[in-house]
Structures are given as structure tokens and as C-alpha cells.
Amino acid sequence: MRGFLASSIGVTCAVALALPLTPPAVAATARPAPGAEAATSGHTVAGPTVRHGDAGVYVPGATHSLPLAPLNRDRTGGAPAAQGLSRRDVPHFSLVGVVWDDPDAELHGRVQVRTRAVGTGTWSGWQAVETHNDEHAADPGAAERASGRVRGSTAPLWVGESDGVEARVTAEGAHAHSDHDPGSDDDAATGAGLAALLPLGLRLELVDPGAAAPAPGDLGGASRPGSLMTETGETADALAASSAAAASAANAELAPLGAAEIPALGLAETERELLALRGGELTQAQHARPYIGPRPRIVTRRGWGANESWRERRFVYTRKVKAAFVHHTATGNRYRCSQVPSLIRGIYRYHVRSMGWRDVGYNFLVDKCGNIYEGRAGGVAKPVLGAHTRGFNSNSMGIAVLGSYGSTKPSRAALRAIARLTAWKLGLYGANPRGKTYLKSAGGNLYRKGKNVRLNVISGHRDGFSTQCPGWQLYRKIGTARAAAARYQGR
């Protein structure tokens, strides 16, 4: 699979580019996102400097990265060797995950955390962190996967604003109980064998999403005294401004530059927009009867406060959108819809700064209140190449419902949002939500590389990769979303 690269260098906040729906290939090589440096022991990776301006104070957030260590063996009993952190005070954070050195190494075990809530000082019980996360990734052999920056990781867990943490990672087969400390004495040989099952370089990532990034106009691209220079000679502020303008300009056909949301359209307006966007590519039958659902309201990256200087500056596209894969983020369900912009900023920061990805992996995110959010940058109407379904990112899009849906039922609002989004986006490319399509596997644990696989146009993540995602309770409802999406398209 080869993605198409489109450069965003040199775009300023004063220029709105009318980018084509399927951009041409641009010969360029990706480089690390500015500031995406690896965290060192106890290192806090922060965002840009706090800025004071007309909009108030910008609090950029930070990632506090802590190395895990073998836990003390100060009790007798059957608990095995484990790695973790003892209970401690830490800088404020709201999202937590574990990363390790080798992206191809799997964590065969259990990860649990306790956190202390800011304000009340109350400690939570042990909370499980989803360890199977590698299936949400760029395709094998893709430039993003081979960048040398990618790390192995758990899924992130949203815990709310916290200032204390305790963590433990126990190897598979350890039989540890969740109600006692895992640092008990054990047979040395057994402990060493179990420890060997854990990947090297385990680190606990504590993510503070910070406040929303300032609008490009608040930065202006001007140099401030002491502003850091990037490798291209730009100041950090100029880079942030140009990157933010480029991300917004990718949606120029749908909304004004700098818009916090792309408004919903009626059916007639959507059909006219389809002709404007893709008229030259439509068949005669599609001109006569375009099957497309009304465009839903979409909160843009500007709307949820993305700091565009973190991501890779170039957009990468695939050829078309033939299928949609439904996911859950496995971040837990303890969030309010008013917190979602912070939650998405946390996921974005974790994907880029902790996991080493070029941008957030999903093309879209949906919350339990039915709001739809733009994910990976490049334009919501365009075939942006994501990192969501390992082996099947080409010619597809990934939609992640925020939360964990193994035992929790998804809300009706979330299912309706999936249906409305797929009816519109798949309609742009002539795909029938109730139909089947063929995608070529780039390699995974279900299908060998190069195999043409027949899949539902709207599939669950587990249809393309052996995984529990999107959770059984969400997976069993995908048929409902397919039927509703087809109705929205007028089929």
C-alpha cells in the first residue's frame, strides 16, 4: 500500500486552500513531528510555552513518563514478580497508559492502575488498562510503522483529573489477585521466567490534555522573544500557526477557515455538494440518483483544540473510501460529554507523543451523546489514511466510539451518529452501507498479506483482525447502524 502525501508547509492562516478531494501524490519524506522526542526517566514532555493574549492563558498540557521497576518482595505468598510504581504524588493528569520499546513485542499480562482524584483526594480501586492495542496501528511496512519512533503500548485509560498514581504490570499466568499488592516473595526462577514475558522498557505515561490550543490568529506566526526555532527555520509559533491553517484549509470546501465545526446539511444541499466535490468522478447513474445521506455536524480539530504542531506536517491519503471499520477506544466510560474535547486531546497526545504515531489514528471519533469529531488531519471529506485497523487502513476509514463496550451497551445516540456519518462519507464514494466490498490485506493475524478479503462495507474491527474491539455490545449493534445508514442514503 502506498499513501499519497500532500504537503502543508507554507500554508498560513490568511490563506484558505481549495484542496482537491483526492490529492495528487507529492514526492516527500515524512519527518518527526516537532517536539515528539522520546521521554527520558521521569521526564515531562510539555507543549509550547504558556501564552498570554486576548483569549486568556493557554495551558498546553504535558506527558509525565515514569519508568516501571520490579516491585518489592516483602510478603510471603503466591504473588509473582511484577513491575510497577508504588503509590505516589504526581503532576496533574487525566489519561494514563503504558508504553514499551519494541512495537512488535506484545504484553502478555495484566496492567492495572489506581489514581487519586484532584479535589477529593479519594483513591480509586484497581482499574484495568486494555493491553491489546497493537491491532490499532499503521499497516505493516507503512512509512508510519517503519519510522523508528513507534513504541508498543496499551490503550489509554481516561481516569479524570488526578494527582496521585499507583501501577502494576503482572505477567500472564501470574494468578495475582486484584485486592492485594503483587510484590510478595516468590520462587526466584518462576519470577524471572514471568518477568521475561514482559516487554523491555515499560513506562507509565501520565497525560495532562491541557487546554485547547489557541487559534492561529492568536499566534499570528510572528516570532516571540526566546521562541524556539524548528529545523526548517520557523519559530514554534509560526509552525503551530501554519499547521493549524493547513488542517483547517483541508476542509475549505465545507466550512470557513478556522471553523470549530462543520455544520449539518439537508439532503438537497448535500447532493449539490457531492456534485461540486466529486461531480467529474460520478457515473451517469450516480448523477441521476446519488445515494448519500445528509452531511452530519462534525466538530473539527480546531473545535476540540488540537495542537497541530505535534503531528506530522504532511497529510497522507489513500485512493478512496470503500469501507468503514467501527472501533471503541477502550478508554473507559467514566467521562462526561463536556469532557470529550479534553479526552480527545489526551488520546491525540498519547498517540503522537507516547506511541510515536504521525497523528491520532482514527479518522473520526464519536461520543456517547452522538457528537462526531474529526480525527486524523487532512479533510473530513477526503480519503485520509488512518492507523486504526492493522492490515486494512488502505481504502477505508476508522470510526472510534469513545468508551469501552465489552459489557456496556452503546448509546442510541452513538449508533445514530455512526449511521449518519457512514451514510454521508461512504455516499461520497458510492458505497452501499448494507453491501460488501473487497479490501486487500497488508498483513495481520487473520489474513495474509496480499489476500483480497470480502468484508461488509461497515465492519467491526474484529472482522479484519483477531481482537475484542469494538467490544461485543457495540459489535452486535453494527447491523443496526448499517440498516440506518442505508435508509439515510435512500436505499
Q: Where do the DSSP E strands lie in 385-478?
A: 396-401, 436-440, 452-456, 458-460
203 and 42 in contact (C-beta within 8 Å)? no
Partnered with residue 21 across adjacent β-strands are: none
* pLDDT, average across residues 185-212: 74
* Cis before 23 (ω within 30): no
**CB-CB neighbours of 190 under 10 Å:** 14
d(CA 419, CA 134): 27
Query: What confidence tens digit (pLDDT) does each residue in 344-368 have?
Result: 999 999 999 999 999 999 999 999 9
Q: What percent of the chain has pLDDT over 70?
A: 77
**Spatial CA neighbour of 433 closest among 491, 486, 363, 476:** 486
Which part of the chain has CATH 3.40.80.10?
Answer: 245-488
- Mapping DSSP onto H, E and C, the string for 148-177 reads CCCCEECCCEEEEEEEEEEEEEEECCCCCC
Q: CA dist 151 to 100, 134, 137, 207, Å?
A: 6, 10, 11, 16
* Whether the predicted pLDDT of 52 surpasses 70: no
156 and 350 in contact (C-beta within 8 Å)? yes
* pLDDT, average across residues 238-259: 92
Q: Which residue has the higher pLDDT, 242 or 37?
A: 242
* pLDDT, average across residues 230-258: 82
Distance of CA 63 to the CA centre of its chain: 16
* pLDDT, average across residues 248-266: 96
Query: What confidence tens digit (pLDDT) does each residue in 294-348 have?
Result: 999 999 999 999 999 999 999 999 999 999 999 999 999 999 999 999 999 999 9
Number of H helices, E strands in the chain: 10, 22
* pLDDT, average across residues 46-61: 44
- What's the pLDDT score for residue 143? 92
| Mean pLDDT of the residues in the chain | 83
**CB-CB neighbours of 25 under 10 Å:** 11
- What's the pLDDT score for residue 230? 46
- Looking at domain 245-488, its CATH class is alpha beta
* pLDDT, average across residues 430-451: 94
Query: What confidence tens digit (pLDDT) does each residue in 451-476 have?
Result: 999 999 999 999 999 999 999 999 99
Q: Could you say which DSSP state residue 9 is in?
A: T
Distance of CA 457 to the CA centre of its chain: 21
In this structure, the dihedral spanned by the alpha carbons of residues 349, 355, 359 and 363, taken in order and rounded to 10 degrees, is: -100
d(CA 433, CA 342): 31
* pLDDT, average across residues 66-74: 80
d(CA 297, CA 420): 9
- Quickly tell me which residue has 445528509 as its cell: 294
Query: What confidence tens digit (pLDDT) does each residue in 91-132 have?
Result: 999 999 999 999 999 999 999 999 999 999 999 999 999 998
Cell of 153: 503500548
84 and 182 in contact (C-beta within 8 Å)? yes
d(CA 217, CA 264): 25
* pLDDT, average across residues 162-177: 82
Distance of CA 156 to the CA centre of its chain: 10
334 and 158 in contact (C-beta within 8 Å)? yes
- What's the pLDDT score for residue 246? 94
The widest CA-to-CA distance across the chain, in whole angstroms, is 76
